[in-house]
Homo-oligomer: A and B are copies of this chain.
């Protein structure tokens, strides 16, 4: 008798436990995404070891986050991103600089070599907007002004982080800094982002009537999914994160999301796939690595990483009020796969030690775990206003029914 397909078993078990943890957290008014990540930490191979995801699940998890960001893109419009563009650039730039300076400064103060300090600073820079997007979407707050600024800043942050990495690698390589290749890289990434925000939606407006003529079932959804995968690949080609490409794809289709009924489909796909992303995020965290002085150093770096983004990203927005500044700063704190990739490159180039790599992993984990809590706190006002609005409109409907 053939044994059940192991992948299928993995997929079921991870889906079930992740959703259960999420549900339990929701019941206690905690962010569901935190439960999903904790499912990975506690049941994954490094702690209880009850679930050992196969390589296929790891690979699947890597790509599954793109559908989350695709959905977030569908709920944003390019105009809104353009409106907050100027502010978002300031937020991203100021957050990047402060983070890099603090990371670099701390290791330098502790007499670590300069190359190690530069790589750590770079690995601390890149915001991963997946967690923030998920929390804001769970709370129904993607339409707030702060959410728009966060999303736009995350796009610029990714471009800047990529350029900083190229710069640091250039400075540290024996051939020295190659300004031409860095300029080409910068032009590619900036050109891609500008094209996606300014030109692609217009192209889409031209092309969209022709989609009706396709013979496939669900032509709009198929086209949207195809473009989402294409732009994720294209974003990685120009050195950005795949999820940024998926977010752009969502932006392009945002205008048509309602007319073509794209949201329910894409949200179902994201409902199915993103649990694997968050579970694996947790499963990769090895809690045993951190003892003694490494733990202290890791805690300091984590605090610096959170402080740097809250202050660095918040300060340019103080003119919009302290609440907005704080919301955007907190929204930019979670780090993710980009930082891990940066430190992996550092390891391969023998520029950072195993300890520093472990510290980056720890810092990523802390920002991921802390961000959902902080987001709930700083968006508390908006959330209760929204809930009250819902109650009021329900009451109005009830009164109308009664009269």
Contact = CB atoms under 8 A, between A and B. Distances in A.
Interface of A: 1-5, 7-9, 11-12, 15-16, 19, 22-23, 26-27, 32, 55-56, 59-60, 62-63, 66, 138, 166, 185, 214-218, 221-222, 225-226, 229-230, 232-233, 236-237, 239, 242, 261, 264-269, 271-272, 341, 345
Given A216-B32, A271-B218, A345-B2, A16 B226 contact: yes
Given A5-B236, A8-B242, A56-B59, A23 B214 contact: yes
A263 to B, nearest CB: 10
A217 B8 contact: no
Contact of A265 (B9, B233, B265): B265
A215 B139 CA distance: 12
Contacts of A236: 2-5, 8
Contacts of A265: 264-265, 267-268, 271
A264 B268 CA distance: 8
A242 B218 CA distance: 26
Copy total for this chain? 2
B225 A7 contact: no
B22 A230 contact: no
Grouping DSSP codes into helix (H, G, I), strand (E, B) and loop, the A interface class, with mixed when no group exceeds half, is helix
Nearest to A19: B222
Nearest to A165: B1
Nearest 6 CB-CB pairs, A to B? A265-B268, A26-B215, A4-B236, A12-B229, A56-B59, A264-B264
Contacts of A229: 8, 11-12, 15-16
Nearest to A215: B26
Contacts of A185: 1
Contacts of A237: 4
